[in-house]
């Protein structure tokens, strides 16, 4: 009786592992002992990874000392998820928190009044794990749109999905640039900001943007517009970074490097001059 129960538990666990392995391609390998870490040479790491599940598609050592690997297939992913040691060092292997999903947008007027939870339930069998409607704010009014941001498990965005009897085209979701509401610079949020409070309207450091009547000045490009203006050349550069990041499924830093952007761009140049 006990052996049958144990068999059912193993089977259920194996089924869940197979499900995860189907869509997970990015894994984090960490040493159980954080103080000692993975103190191995690149040669030793490659040899050990190969012995577990053959050479991964990519391997990268993070600042934390952990390894970020990208696998070729579900079978290879499963092999690494089952690993307990790397060169006799106890390890944990977990899916990366953000790289194993992708987001797309659908626009369908017939879904405009359908609740998000109902849409999620209806699309869950197509690997949709989250649904968020895009809303617009006009003064104190909140306007729901026909545009829906869908999060899919896995890194392959489908060309279309079926919502009931509707066939909806899916296009990549390109997020807006991340701008700090404190210092107005791009690439980080207010929560992690070490800069000074800056007026979004005039870039002054001695007051907030509430009822600011001074001439507008951008704190990023120093041109005569507020720091949150989408006409800002730096905003357009950041949008291009986000587009590249999304299309290539790479980090913000990697996208910036791939575009060959200067560390301190000259805004007197045309806004797209250094995006070639």
- Inform me whether the pLDDT recorded for 209 exceeds 80: no
Residue-wise pLDDT tens digits, 249-258: 777 888 889 9
Q: Give a yes or no: residue 273 inside a domain.
A: no
Question: Mean of the pLDDT values across residues 208-235?
Answer: 92
Dist. CA 57–CA 98, nearest whole Å: 18
Residue-wise pLDDT tens digits, 179-200: 999 999 998 889 989 999 999 9
Dist. CA 213–CA 96, nearest whole Å: 46
- What's residue 3's pLDDT? 53
Look at residues 95, 127, 146 and tell me which one is the last residue of a structural domain. Answer: 95
Residues 110 and 80 in one domain: no
Q: Give a yes or no: residue 2 inside a domain.
A: no
Range with the poorest average pLDDT among 145-154, 219-228, 256-265: 256-265
Look at residues 95, 113, 133 and tell me which one is the last residue of a structural domain. Answer: 95
Residues 106 and 88 in one domain: no
Q: Give a yes or no: residue 264 inside a domain.
A: no
- Inform me whether the pLDDT recorded for 202 exceeds 80: yes
Residues 23 and 86 in one domain: yes
Residues 73 and 107 in one domain: no
Return the HEC string of 53-104: HCCCCEEEECCCCCEEEECCCHHHHHHHHCCCEECCEEEEEEECCCCCEEEE
If you compute the radius of gyration of the chain from its CA atoms, what whole number of angstroms results?
Answer: 24
Dist. CA 14–CA 64, nearest whole Å: 30
- Inform me whether the pLDDT recorded for 267 exceeds 70: no
Provide the number of structural domains found in the chain: 3
Residue-wise pLDDT tens digits, 9-49: 444 467 888 888 998 999 999 999 988 889 999 999 999 99
Write down the pTM of the prediction: 0.70
Residue-wise pLDDT tens digits, 126-157: 999 999 999 988 877 888 999 999 999 988 89
Question: Mean of the pLDDT values across residues 226-254?
Answer: 90
Q: For all residues of the chain together, what is the average pLDDT?
A: 88
- What's residue 65's pLDDT? 93
Look at residues 68, 95, 122 and tell me which one is the last residue of a structural domain. Answer: 95
- Inform me whether the pLDDT recorded for 50 exceeds 80: yes
| Range(s) of the domain holding residue 143 | 101-172
Residues 51 and 31 in one domain: yes
Residue 223 buriedness (CB in 10 A; 0-12 / 13-18 / 19+): middle
DSSP element (H, E) containing 22: helix 2-23
Residue 195 buriedness (CB in 10 A; 0-12 / 13-18 / 19+): middle
Q: Give a yes or no: residue 48 inside a domain.
A: yes
Q: How many CA atoms lie within 13 A of 139 on its CB side?
A: 1
Residues 60 and 123 in one domain: no
Strand order in the sheet with 128-138: 128-138, 141-153, 101-107, 171-172
| Neighbour count for residue 200 (Cβ, 10 Å) | 19
Dist. CA 201–CA 217, nearest whole Å: 6
Q: Give a yes or no: residue 6 inside a domain.
A: no
- Inform me whether the pLDDT recorded for 271 exceeds 80: no
Residues 82 and 113 in one domain: no
Q: Give a yes or no: residue 181 inside a domain.
A: no
Residues 106 and 90 in one domain: no
Q: Give a yes or no: residue 3 inside a domain.
A: no
Question: Mean of the pLDDT values across residues 44-69?
Answer: 95
Residues 88 and 61 in one domain: yes
| Three-state DSSP class for residue 192 | helix
The CATH number of the domain holding residue 70 is 3.30.70.330
Give the residues across from 59 on adjacent strands: 69
């Amino acid at each position: 009786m006990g052996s049958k129960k144990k068999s059912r538990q193993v089977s259920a666990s194996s089924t869940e592992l197979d499900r995860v392995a189907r869509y997970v391609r990015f894994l984090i390998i960490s040493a159980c002992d954080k103080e000692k870490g993975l103190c191995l040479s690149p040669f030793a790491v490659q040899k050990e990874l190969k012995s577990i599940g053959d050479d991964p598609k990519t391997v990268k050592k993070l600042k934390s000392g952990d390894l970020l690997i990208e696998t070729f297939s579900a079978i290879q992913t499963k092999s690494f998820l089952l690993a307990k040691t790397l060169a006799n060092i106890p390890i944990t292997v977990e899916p990366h928190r953000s790289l194993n999903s992708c987001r797309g947008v659908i626009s369908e007027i017939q879904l405009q009044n359908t609740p998000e939870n109902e849409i999620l339930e209806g699309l869950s069998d197509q690997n949709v794990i989250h649904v968020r409607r895009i809303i617009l704010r006009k003064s104190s009014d909140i306007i729901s749109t026909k545009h829906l941001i869908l999060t899919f498990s896995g890194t392959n965005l489908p060309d279309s999905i079926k919502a009931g009897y509707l066939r909806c085209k899916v296009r990549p979701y390109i997020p807006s640039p991340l701008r700090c509401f404190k210092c107005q610079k791009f690439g980080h949020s207010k929560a992690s900001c070490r800069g000074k409070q800056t007026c979004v309207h005039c870039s002054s450091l001695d007051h907030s943007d509430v009822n600011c009547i001074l001439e507008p000045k951008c704190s990023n490009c120093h041109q005569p517009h507020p720091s949150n203006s989408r006409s800002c050349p730096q905003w357009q550069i950041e949008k291009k970074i986000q587009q590249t990041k999304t299309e290539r499924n790479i980090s913000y830093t990697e996208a910036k490097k791939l575009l060959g952007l200067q560390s301190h761009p000259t805004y007197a140049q045309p806004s797209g001059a250094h995006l070639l």
